[in-house]
Amino acid sequence: MTIRTRILIIVALVALSVFYLVPRQITIRERDPVTGVMTDRTERKVPLKLGLDLQGGMHLALELDQSKQVSADPKRDLDLALTVLRKRIDEFGVTEPLIQKVGDSRIVVELAGITEPARAKGIVQRSAFLEFRITDETKALDKAIPAMDRTLRSMGVRGPDTAQAKPSAVEQLLGGDTAKKAATDSVKKTAADTGKKAAAAKTKGRPDSAAKQDTTPARDTTPIIGGVLNGLIQPSGGAPGEYAVPETAFPRVDSLINLPQVARQLPRGVALRWASQPTSVGVESVRFLYALDDRPIITGSSLEDAAAQIDPLTNGPVVTFTLDRAGGRRFGEETGKHVGDYMAIVLDGRVQGRPPVIQSRIGRNGQITLTGRGLQEAQDLALTLKAGALPIPLKIVEERQVGASLGSDSIHDGIVAGLVGTGLVILIMIGYYRLSGVLAVIALAVYLLFTLGGLSIVEATLTLPGLAGIVLSIGLTVDNNVLIFERMREELIHGKTVRLAMDEGFRHAMNAIVDSNVCMVLTALFLFQFGTGPVKGFAITLIMGIVASMITSIFVTRTLFLIWLARRPAMTTLSI
Amino acid sequence: MTRLFANANYDFIGVRRYAYGVTAAILLPGLLFLMLMGLNYSIEFTGGTLVQIRSQKTVDVAQLRSGLDQQGIHGAEIQGFGAPNEYVIRARVAKPGTDANDTQATAAAVSHALDTVLGQGTYSVLRTEAVGPKVGGELRQKAFLAIFLSFFAVLAYLAYRFEWRFGLAAVIATAHDILATIAFIGVMRLEVSLTIVAAVLSMVGYSLNDTIIIFDRVREDLKKYKKDPFERVLNRAINETLPRSVLTHGTTLATLIALAVFGGEVIRPFALVMFFGVFTGTFSSIYIASPVLMAIEQRWPGALARGHMGTTPTPPPPSPAGRKPQPVGR
């Protein structure tokens, strides 16, 4: 190979690296998440994509959360969830998000440069399962509470003694007469109920339990009034099936009514759902509990479109939605049947706002009022509704989040360390090898260019460990040159001419260079295979660095020597 | 021409027994310490929550700890991290009563404790890591598998390029390096994170690099000096490659020092482990890999080594500069 060909090849490689390292303008066509208008946006394409640890961002690993709902076909559900997440994040408007399935049971989401991590998490995690249900009008819960209390009592759960001594604040505030009447009604009814049931138990046999049932009311004259739930759950006096629970008692009541033995006391066809938020009634904060028809009249799967708006009347945010044709027809029929009833809007198992009364048959369009919340939340809800519901809720099993400021600090530190390290290496090389050292330093510069260019070509992501890998490789890569130079020195000492020493030096160093570099690449490949995120970045920079270092030491340094010798053919001593 | 260790003629192999003593003196207490104290695994491997914050005012660590206790997060580690007002909080246990693999409850409890103790808005969260124990366990498994498998890949490659004797000796030396490095990590109480695993694997690569360069010279010299005893061939190879070793270790250490001093808090442990790795790698190439190779060749001599296995006591090798140039080439 002539020197000219060698120079041409090097120039071509350098040009290629430089081309890939120069920021370019590219046009991205993108849909505005709010207005839905397609816009062209010109973006500066930075050559090396920065990892989440350098530019800030969020990494989430998600799995199906089967604690409340067991998936019949986890594989299918995960694929479905993946599609839904793609749509949602697309609408959310993150540049270059990464959403992929890892293994059989996990989805990894990486959102770079995100500034509101909590909001993004909400969008990813929200099931967005929307249903419309008619509130229960049969007073099923009122009837079931005594039985529930009795079950709880037999399980050893007792209400506080003061529960009845002080008339419930809820009752006072909400109730007026209706509530009180309802409460006493229920007491009367349940008292009768207890008697009946106790008698039934007695006649049915099972002497043990019968005896217990019998003795309990005897010891406590007002067993029902002292009941845990009876003291805490009061009809609100609003829509039928709406009950009020003091906000402070909400977690306790929630855990009690979800006990399987207690939940069994509720008649079939009725389901209990909490309100999404506490409501303040006077000075008291209460949480509404709803008894609803078990069967939703329609679910979010019939949704065609959703958008967030500000309701001109209340000035509060609303989400308007449009149902598809079939859904609209069914919704119309059902609401037509239930005129005068109350309809609860249930999102992810929580009732949104207080159920409105159905004035007349409703068609394809409707709206969800979000009381006391911001427009942004309404937008997020519209977005998730439109993208569809997750088949099974997702739980976050891994989360990494790096603030942008920490990322830029890391870059700064990495660059300083790189500059200092390079400076030291240059000093050592030139100090020890003189002019040949200068050639090695030129080769080092070419090496850096090749490595960065190569990383840019394979679209690798630069991470913090990757940055450390580049700095480290500056120290490592001169090893190849050191091997060659030392070998040349030996040959010179053995009395060879400059030209011969150079050829022999390169030839003999070759074996050691190839073997040691291949071993390095092998370990780096395993690191790449098994590592995650940042460590993968380290492995890829290491591999790219080794390849670039071999090219530069074997080819570029040699060419530099050849040029040097060609310019000084009469040289008898080499500055090495 | 400045030459370091030119014409070096140290009897490396002759003093190998002392070197074994040094190895034992470092490894045994190190491994004992490791057995007693165990390794300090990071959140990534154990599962848990890590929050790095920058506070506007100084944080009362005891107060913050009691705030976390109130949230049901006991035994959290709170440490200063780099800058004076930056702290890292590590909670390895999940909030009681929650699914440990669902990381959100614990993360929320930590941020709630921060809000109540420090006050909302007086601090900023720089970094959050929350890993479920399941994910952590998988990661730990993967890391060990990576180290283990890379071992065999290297053995296979060396067996192909040299012969199995060289490969085995190199891998035994590497095993020594990994043990020594893990002991170092344990004694220094460094947190075993993925970055540290990366450092250990890079160290393995570096140490192999060093061993291979000596072995390459051994292979060449075995052909060149057909009459020399094996021990002398080894010594000569090590001495001949000494200037290269010194130079390369010098430049590598220079970049590692730069990383340790300027590279920031996350990279410092990586640099420290690699720094140690450079020394143990150099040591093992000379004092583990080479003597082990000799022992293997004595036991099962290979084609190349045959004829070098004389039992005559070895005179010190002649200095490389003093000898006549030999014909080279294969």
Residue B220 token pair: 């060449």
Share of chain A above pLDDT 90, in %: 15
- Helix axis angle, A498-530 relative to A557-567, nearest 10°? 160
pLDDT of residue A32: 64
Structure tokens at A565: 């010798």
Q: Residue A343 corresponds to which amino acid?
A: M
Contact list, B107 vs chain A (CB under 8 Å): 399
- Contact yes or no for A431 and B206 at CB 8 A: no
User: Is residue A265 located within the same domain as residue A339?
Assistant: no
Contact between B201 and A524 using a beta-carbon 8 Å cutoff = yes
Residue of chain B whose alpha carbon sits nearest to that of A525:
B150
Which value, to the nearest 10 degrees, does the dihedral of the CA atoms of residues A482, A483, A485, A488 take?
A: 170
Joined together, the tokens standing for residue A26 give 């590219």
The DSSP secondary-structure symbol of B315 reads P
pLDDT at res. A219: 38
Q: Which of A196-200, A431-435, A473-477 has the lowest mean pLDDT?
A: A196-200
Those residues whose C-beta lies under 8 Å from the C-beta of residue B294, and which sit 6 or more positions away, are: B13, B230, B231, B234
Model pLDDT for residues A157-208, shown as the tens digit of each residue: 765 544 444 444 444 444 444 444 444 444 444 444 444 444 444 444 444 4
Whether A311 is in a domain gets the answer: yes
- The size of the A-B interface in CB pairs under 8 A is 245
Nearest chain B residue to A573 by CA distance is: B1
> Which alpha helices (H) appear in B119-229, and where do they start and end?
133-161, 164-187, 194-224
What is the token pair recorded at B1?
Answer: 């021409």
* Domain shared by A509 and A376, yes or no: no
Same domain, A103 and A146: no
Given A409, A475, A523, which is nearest B251 (Cβ)? A475
Residues A224, A325 within the same domain: no
Tell me, what DSSP letter sits at residue B161? H
Distance CA A157, CA A170 (A): 22
DSSP 8-state secondary structure symbol assigned to residue B263:
S
* Chain A environment of B209 (Cβ under 8 Å): 479, 516-517, 519-520
DSSP SS3 for A265: coil
Q: Is A297 on the interface with B (CB under 8 A)?
A: no
What one-letter code names the amino acid at B327? P
Q: Find out whether A14 and A552 touch, Cβ atoms under 8 Å.
A: no
Q: Report how far Cα A480 is from the mean position of its chain's Cα atoms.
A: 45
Of A247, A271, A293, the position where a domain reaches its end is A293
- Centre a 10 Å sphere on the Cβ of residue B265 and count the other Cβ atoms it contains: 16
Pick from B153, B198, B259: which is nearest to A421 by CB? B259
- Total residue count of chain B as it appears in this document: 330
Evaluate whether B305 touches B297 at the Cβ level (below 8 Å). Answer: yes
Residue A226's pLDDT is what? 60
Average pLDDT rounded to a whole number, residues A119-126:
84
**Any idea of the CA torsion for A238, A242, A243, A244, to the nearest 10 degrees?**
-60
Most A-contacting residue of B112, B201, B246 (CB-CB within 10 A), to test interface: B201
The per-residue b/e assignment along A263-294, b for 16 or more CB within 10 angstroms, e otherwise, is eebbeeebbbbbbbbbbebeebebbbbbbbbe
Q: Give the gyration radius of chain A's Cα atoms.
A: 37
Measured between CA atoms, the residue of chain A closest to residue B48 is A398
- For residue A211, pLDDT over 80 is answered with no
Nearest CA in chain B to A106: B135
Q: Which residues of B touch A474 (CB under 8 A)?
A: 251, 255
Q: Does residue A89 belong to any structural domain of this protein?
A: yes
Spell out the alpha helix ranges (H) of A233-293. 250-257, 260-263
Model ipTM over 0.95: no
For residue A455, give the CATH number of its domain: 1.20.1640.10
Residue A490, pLDDT above cutoff 60: yes
CB proximity A515 to B under 8 Å:
yes
Checking B145-148 for CB contacts under 8 A at 24+ apart, the result is B145/A530, B146/A526, B146/A527, B146/A529, B146/A530, B146/A531, B146/B197, B146/B201, B147/A526, B147/B178, B147/B197, B147/B200, B147/B201, B147/B204
Last residue of a domain, one of A293, A310, A339: A293
* Residue A206 in domain: yes
- Indicate if A243 and A195 belong to the same structural domain: yes
| B259 closest CB neighbour out of A417, A431, A532 | A417
What angle, rounded to 10 degrees, do the helices at B164-187 and B290-299 form? Answer: 140
| pLDDT of A9 | 93
| Burial class of residue B305, CB neighbours in 10 A (0-12, 13-18, 19+) | buried
Q: Is residue A576 part of a domain?
A: no
At B3, list the tokens: 């030459």
Residues A119 and A160 in one domain: no
**Tokens representing residue B198 in the block:** 């990366």
What pLDDT shows up at residue B1?
65
Domains held by chain A: number: 4
C-beta atoms of B262 and A417 within 8 A = yes
Per-residue tokens: B212: 């291979």
Tokens of B153: 């890949």
Q: Looking at A4-13, A188-197, A253-262, B14-23, which range is the least confident one?
A: A188-197
Measure in Å the smallest separation between the Cα of A264 and chain B Cα atoms.
Answer: 24
- Does A42 fall in a domain? no
Nearest to B254 among A402, A425, A512 (CB): A425
> What is the rounded CA–CA span in Å between residue B212 and residue B207?
9
Of residues A575, A554, A536, the one with CA closest to residue A446: A554
Q: Which of A249-263, A269-283, B90-104 has the lowest mean pLDDT?
A: B90-104
The predicted pLDDT at position B313 comes to 46
Which residue is listed with tokens 């706002």? Answer: A353
Residue B293: CB partners within 8 Å, gap ≥ 6? B165, B166, B169, B215, B218, B234
Where does residue A575 fall: left (phi above 0), alpha (psi -120 to 50 degrees), or beta otherwise?
A: beta
- Note the helical H segments in B38-120: 43-46, 61-70, 104-118
Same domain, A450 and A371: no
CATH number at residue A88: 3.30.70.3400
Residues A52-101 pLDDT 10s:
888 888 999 998 888 777 778 888 888 888 988 888 888 787 777 888 88
- Domain range for A119 is 57-124+390-401
Given its phi and psi angles, is residue A224 left (phi above 0), alpha (psi -120 to 50 degrees) or beta? Answer: alpha
Interface test with B, best of A492, A522, A575 (most B CBs within 10 A): A522
Q: Work out the average pLDDT over A462-476.
A: 85
Distance from CA of A377 to the nearest CA of B (A): 20
The burial class, CB within 10 Å (0-12 / 13-18 / 19+), for B36 is exposed
Which residues, other chains included, contact B110 with Cβ-Cβ below 8 Å and sequence gap of 6+? B49, B51, B68, B71, B73, B76, B89, B91
What is the C-alpha separation between A535 and A526, in angstroms, rounded? 11
For chain A, positions 64-103, list CB contacts with chain B under 8 A.
Answer: 65, 67
Q: What are phi and psi of A286, to 5 degrees?
A: -120, 160
Q: In the structure encoding, which two tokens stand for residue A292, read together?
A: 């609803």
Taking an 8 Å cut-off on Cβ atoms, the answer to whether B256 and A475 are in contact is yes
Give the distance from residue B134's alpha carbon to the nearest chain A alpha carbon, in angstroms.
8
Claim to verify: residue A416 and residue A484 sit in the same structural domain: yes
Write the CA distances from A60 to A385, A403, A466, B131, B317, integer angstroms: 21, 15, 21, 10, 62
Which A residues, 385 through 444, put their C-beta within 8 Å of a C-beta on chain B?
395-403, 405-406, 409-410, 413-414, 416-418, 420-422, 424-425, 428-429, 431-432
Domain shared by A163 and A82, yes or no: no
CB–CB of A346/A273 below 8 Å?
yes
**CATH number, domain containing residue A305:** 3.30.1360.200
How close A83 comes to chain B (CA, Å)?
Answer: 22
Give me the domains of chain B, ranges plus CATH numbers: 16-41+136-299 (1.20.1640.10), 48-131 (3.30.70.3220)
Q: Quick one: three-class SS letters along A11-30? A: HHHHHHHHHHHCCEEEEEEE
Query: How far away is chain B from the Cα of A528, in angstroms, using its nearest Cα?
Result: 9
Q: Does A131 touch chain B (CB under 8 A)?
A: no
Task: Say if the Cβ atoms of B320 and A523 lie within 8 Å.
Answer: no
Min distance B48 CA to chain A CA atoms (Å): 9
Q: Are residues A322 and A285 in the same domain?
A: no
Mutate which of B202, B203, B219, B242 to test chain A, going by most A C-beta atoms within 10 A?
Answer: B202
Task: Tell me: do A368 and A438 sit in the same domain.
Answer: no
Extract the tokens encoding B313: 């006591």
Whole-angstrom Cα Rg for chain B = 26
On whether the CB atoms of residues B31 and B38 are closer than 8 A, the answer is no
A141 by Cβ neighbours in 10 Å (0-12 / 13-18 / 19+) ranks as buried
For residues A216 and A248, state if they share a domain. Answer: yes
pLDDT in tens, chain B (330 residues): 667 777 778 888 888 889 889 899 989 999 999 999 888 888 888 888 888 988 888 888 888 888 888 888 888 888 888 777 888 888 887 666 667 677 777 888 888 888 888 888 888 888 888 888 888 888 888 888 888 888 888 888 888 888 888 989 998 998 899 999 999 999 999 988 888 888 888 888 889 889 999 999 998 999 888 888 889 999 999 999 998 898 999 999 999 999 999 998 888 999 999 999 999 999 999 999 999 999 998 888 877 777 776 544 445 555 444 444 444 443
CA nearest to B47 within chain A? A398
Maximum Cα–Cα distance across chain A = 122
* Minimum Cα–Cα distance from A473: chain B residue: B252
Is residue A106 pLDDT above 60, yes or no? yes
